[in-house]
Structure 1
Amino acid sequence: MRRTAPAALLAALALAAPTLAACSSEPAAQPGAAAAEDPYAAAVSDPREDSLYPDVGDPGVDALHYDLDLAWDPDARELAATEVLTFRATTTAESFRLDLGEPLEVTAATLDGEPVDVAREGKDLVVGAPVEADARHELALDYAGTPQPVPAPSARDDIATTGWHTTPTGETWTMQEPYGAYSWYAVNDHPSDKAFYDVAVEVPSPWVGVSNGELVSRTEEAGTTRTQWHLEEPAASYLVTVATGELEVTEEVSAGGTPISYWTPPDLAPRRLANLRVAPDALTWLEERLGPYPFSTLGFVVVDGDSGMETQTMVTLGNDAYTTSEPVVVHEIAHHWYGNQVGPADWSEVWMNEGMTMYLQLAWEAEHGGRPLQEEMDEIAAGDAASRAYAGPPASFDPAAFGDGNIYYLPALMWHELRADLGEDAFWSMVRAWPAARDDVATDREDYWAWLEEETGTELTGFLEAWLLGERTPPVDAAG
């Protein structure tokens, strides 16, 4: 996700600190894992109730595949959709529930081909049908309405709301971290539950709909453009994107052979498109440190927003100078290893995504004409106490301050300290090995910390607890 530029953010925290203080080893077994011929085996998850946002998501549902057919009418501001969800029940129950925004009305529902009753409890869609633990089912829904974004648990202006956004002229885009996918489809909206996606989008021509993965087809008929997208790797719901509008596509291929596409509005400033096209070189730089890119395609869609998001294989970027800058492009690509290939099973673990990608971004900047990395680290260290006082430690932050600088910069400084302790070879070997060790898995700090100790042969629990859970700044090595 996009974040404020380091110097500005840390200076702001340092100034605000007095006022704010006055105011206030092995991966887990995947249950029900099927035989290798099971096309959804990689999406079998161990869903959890979130420790910070327990009202979103249901651990009783393990989503395996979402098939979404979306038709957007920009004049009426209406979404008409058909959804088929293949899922595994994780418990035996008389009913199950999904998250679905209240403005969307379900007009038809079947479970395994039979009509089924659904009821609304706020944003919860309750399906009144019995399910048995580990059994697989297919839920089909027709629904329609005017999607509305949902309030975000954050003090950041650029993510005041999440989910589906509509511009004054009817274009749409989605960003939904830590939740908000439910604003436009019925979903188990939690990062512990990864699933496959097929998404079709219909919009009036010459507009086009963009989503994740490979563009399977694009057709135009009777004034309507229909695109079909296939995501061949499981994704968490917050990493799914849909954007509609008049978008032009530019295509190229990285040195390693990854197809890259840029979906941009016709009036995008040439400099911003040029910034996006650092992607092939950035991808090569990251592959040298992290290993082969873990997905088959990479894309970018520029929308009328103020933030940016590492949506899987199709990065969503707001149309401003910072969000379309080269450092942000590098940051969001890096998330495809840290966050997308391996991600958090609980939102208290978002530091796992953001700390390493921020460190990689700052390292890239230092090598490409930016400030020396140690100068950046010294500045972060100077602002560490203010950041902890305002938003909390990186792994025990204030739930109302999601996405603040503490989850980005403080873990980045932690990694820099560990790099000095371990040495270059051991540190970068560790950084490279982790995503591949937990490919397509959502995990937690206990698993990560145990793996780090085993991988490095070093006792790290005290170090990690101090940096990630401590209320005070840990000792920092002198600048060098």
Structure 2
Amino acid sequence: MYNRRPAAAALSLALVAALSVGCQVGEPGPAPLRPTPTTTTGAQAPPDSSPIVPTQSSAGDPYVPGNGNGGYDVRHYSLKLKIVPSDAKKSLDAVATIKAHAQREMAEFNLDLTGLDVSQVKVNGRKADFDHEGSELVVQPSATVAGGSDFTVTVAYSGTPRAVNDPILGQYGWIETPDGVAVACQPSGAHTWFPGNDHPSDKATFDLALTVPQNLTAVANGESGPASTANGLTTTKWTVEQPMATYLAMIAVGDFRVKEGVTPGGIPIMVAVDSSVRTPSIDDFYQAKAKITDEWVKLFGRYPFGSTGGVIDNAAVSFALETQSRSIYGDFDPSETIIAHELAHQWFGDSISVTRWQDIWLNEGFASYAEWIWGERMGGQSLQSRFDSLYQETPPSSWQVLTGDPGRERLFDSFAVYDRGAMTLHALRAKMGDDEFFSLLRRWAEDHRYGNATTEQFVDLAESVSGQELSSFFQAWLYEPVRPPR
């Protein structure tokens, strides 16, 4: 994620992403790193080493309380969405079919869904009772779902979705535009437009059928199929074959110019720019996306998805989000460094996703470091100069936010999560050397491809690749509320 608001604002400086639990890499390392918060008297409190524990109505992540659900693992979402932006009373009429695996016996289970009217729920083809209050859709199937079994849930729903306006994290989710809608859901706005398990620890494949007025164009993640038009409405189908976190699902509906092709490196590419957006030109946007995608393949390893690209919409928002395979941007002209940031997320945040939001530096620190690399390649500030400036000039108060556990209120802190996260990687590169460092990044992206991971797993892999003991290094850079020693 990239955000152009100042550091003090919610969602400050950059936007991302995603997560069934990934496997441990390498030999067992030191005890898991955890922050050591101070008490009000200044004495250090014991570190909290307990993992997040899902319940029926929550993934158990304190950064997004109430989001996600336990008891099952979603394998696939099939969304049929009729979107008529001009209909203020019911702009969305939809059916979601969810294929999942029960992790335990369930007489009832929860889905996340906010602000929409549910007309019917079926489980395995049979009508189910349900209660819908707030963000929780509680489903009571006619027969208990057996633990270890696969099951299918179908939800028919409609209404006019509304964006989340979080006093801490800002506006996200379903965002209306002058000619349609743009969807950008980090950290958990997917439940504003479809029911599901809205936490990155539960990734799934998707297919989407988008039906919109024929004078508008609908764009989504993944690969598109043929379009069909009937009764003034056009339907396009999109398939996401690689697992995706719910917050990375996107749609954009509007009056778009579209350009498709293949990058010089052979990766299919599709970009769309709203016709009301004058800069950049669609050709410039296309060329930047193609060029940077190919360069990141050389640096980070094979591209993880079926296509690359992006959407610039006329949404009155100042951020960009690395929605999987097709990043979405608000109504501004993104620089190549911002594009580089969002494309790096395709490896770090989208393909390999966080298991818990406290590890967001694994997304934003990595993407910010890629952004710095691209800026240097363009003739801008060198990596070392940027590192030195931030190290010397950042005030002590900014170092007090812990990069490895910034807290909900500082989840998108521009210095702690983005800059200090990138500085951590630059300092690690200096310890390891270029060959080992970039080998580490490629191993990280490959070993956890399409899965989820934690900071502890990254530390384990860094120690395995480097042959060094690095727990004290990462403790200083990620979990100490002071400037680390150089």
In which range does the TM-score fall when normalised by the shorter chain? 0.7 to 0.9
Tell me the secondary structure at the aligned position of residue 2 of structure 2: coil
* AA partner of residue 476 (structure 2): A
Residue 218 of structure 1 is aligned with which of 227, 237, 240?
A: 227
- Counterpart CA distance in 2 for 1:132 and 1:462 is 46
How far apart are the structure 1 equivalents of 2:161 and 2:370? 36
Judge which range, 340-349 or 295-304, deviates more: 295-304
Q: Secondary structure at the match of 1:257?
A: coil
2:165 corresponds in structure 1 to 151
CA-CA distance at 1:246 after TM superposition:
0.9
Q: CA deviation at 1:276?
A: 4.8
What is the DSSP-based 3-state SS (H/G/I as helix, E as strand, rest coil) of the residue aligned with 1:217?
coil
Q: Pick from 227, 231, 235 the counterpart of residue 240 of structure 2.
A: 231
Per-residue deviation, residues 361-380 of structure 1 (Å, max 9, x unmatched): 10111111211222211222
Once the two structures are superposed, the pairs formed by residues 309-458 of structure 1 within 5 Å of their partners are 309-321=321-333, 324-381=334-391, 382-383=393-394, 385-389=396-400, 392-405=401-414, 406-458=416-468
Q: 1:141 and 1:193 mapped to 2: Cα distance?
A: 19
Contact 2:74 2:101 in 1 (8 A): yes
Which residue of the partner structure matches residue 19 of structure 1?
none
User: What residue number does 1:249 align with?
Assistant: 258
Which of 63, 72, 78 is equivalent to 2:74?
63
The residue number in structure 1 matching 2:95 is 82
Give the deviation of 1:418 after TM superposition. 1.0
Q: Structure 1: 5+ residue runs without aligned partners?
A: 14-25, 30-45
What is the CA distance between 1:271 and its match in structure 2?
Answer: 3.2
What letter is aligned with 2:396? A
- Measured in 1, the distance between the counterparts of 2:422 and 2:396 equals 15
Letter in structure 2 aligned against 1:131: V
**TM superposition shift of 1:263:** 0.8
Q: What is the aligned partner in structure 1 of residue 481 from structure 2?
A: 471
Shift of 1:255: 1.8
Contact 2:197 2:246 in 1 (8 A): yes
**Which residue in 2 is equivalent to 1:97?**
110
**Long gaps (5+) in structure 2:** 10-21, 26-52
Q: 2:205 is matched with which residue? A: 196
Measured in 2, the distance between the counterparts of 1:195 and 1:366 equals: 36
- What's 2:3 paired with? 3
C-alpha separation between the residues in 2 aligned to 1:311 and 1:407?
19
Aligned to 2:124: 112
The residue identity in structure 1 corresponding to 2:127 is P
Name the structure 2 match of 1:260.
Answer: 269
1:329 is displaced (CA, Å) by 0.8
Matches within 5 A, 1:166-185: 166-167=176-177, 169-185=178-194
Q: Over residues 419-476 of structure 1, what are the superposed CA-to-partner deviations in whole Å (9 max), with x where a residue is unaligned?
A: 1111111111111111101111112122222222112211111111111111111013
1:125 aligns with 2:137: yes
Report deviation, 1:153.
Answer: 6.0
Q: Does 1:299 align with 2:309?
A: yes
Quick check: 398-407 or 343-352, which moved more?
A: 398-407
Q: Provide closer, same or farther for how the CA distance between residues 384 and 418 of structure 1 changes in structure 2, counting only shifts above 3 A.
A: farther
Return structure 1 stretches of 4+ with deviation > 3 angstroms: 152-155, 270-273
Distance of aligned partners of 1:215 and 1:275 in 2 relative to their CA distance in 1, 3 Å threshold: closer
Q: Which residue of 2 aligns with 1:34?
A: none
AA matched with 2:99:
T
Equivalent residue letter for 1:2: Y
SS at match of 1:71: strand
Matching residue's letter, 2:160: T
Q: Distance in 1 between matches of 2:72 and 2:335?
A: 39
User: Please, which moves more after superposition, 178-187 or 365-374?
Assistant: 365-374
Partner SS state of residue 271, structure 1: coil
Which structure has more RCO (C-alpha within 8 Å, separation ≥ 6)? 2
User: TM-score, normalised on structure 1?
Assistant: 0.87
Cα drift, residue 275 of structure 1: 4.2
CA shift, 1:340, in A, is 1.0
CA distance in structure 1 between the aligned counterparts of 2:395 and 2:214, rounded to whole angstroms: 50
Partner letter of residue 161 of structure 2? P
Alignment deviations for residues 34-68 of structure 1 (CA, whole Å, 9 cap, x no partner): xxxxxxxxxxxx97521322310012221110000
- Distance, in Å, in 2 between the alignment partners of 1:99 and 1:291 is 35
Aligned CA RMSD, in angstroms, stands at: 1.9
* Residue aligning to 1:27: 23
Q: Tell me, what secondary structure is at the counterpart of 1:377? A: helix
> Structure 1 residue 28: deviation in Å?
5.0
Which residue, out of 28, 48, 62, partners 1:51?
A: 62
Question: Closer, same or farther in 2 for the Cα pair 1:50/1:145, shift >3 Å?
Answer: same
User: Measured at CA, do residues 384 and 408 of structure 1 come closer, stay the same or move farther in structure 2, by a change above 3 Å?
Assistant: farther
| Matched residue, 1:16 | none
Change (3 A) 1:380 1:348: same
CA displacement, residues 62-94 of structure 1 (integer Å, 9 cap, x when unaligned): 111000000011221320001100011222232
Whether the 8 Å CA contact 1:154–1:402 is kept in 2: the answer is no
The amino acid that maps onto 1:70 is L
Contact 1:153 1:402 in 2 (8 A): no
Give secondary structure in 1 for the equivalent of 2:338: helix
Equivalent residue number for residue 37 of structure 2: none
Other structure's SS at 1:65 match: strand
What's the TM-score once normalised by structure 2's chain length? Answer: 0.85
Residue 269 of structure 1 aligns with which residue? 278
Match of 1:22? none
Once the 2 structures are TM-superposed, how far is the Cα of residue 252 of structure 1 from its aligned partner?
A: 2.5
The Cα of 1:223 is off from its aligned counterpart by: 1.4
- Identical amino acids, percent of aligned pairs: 30
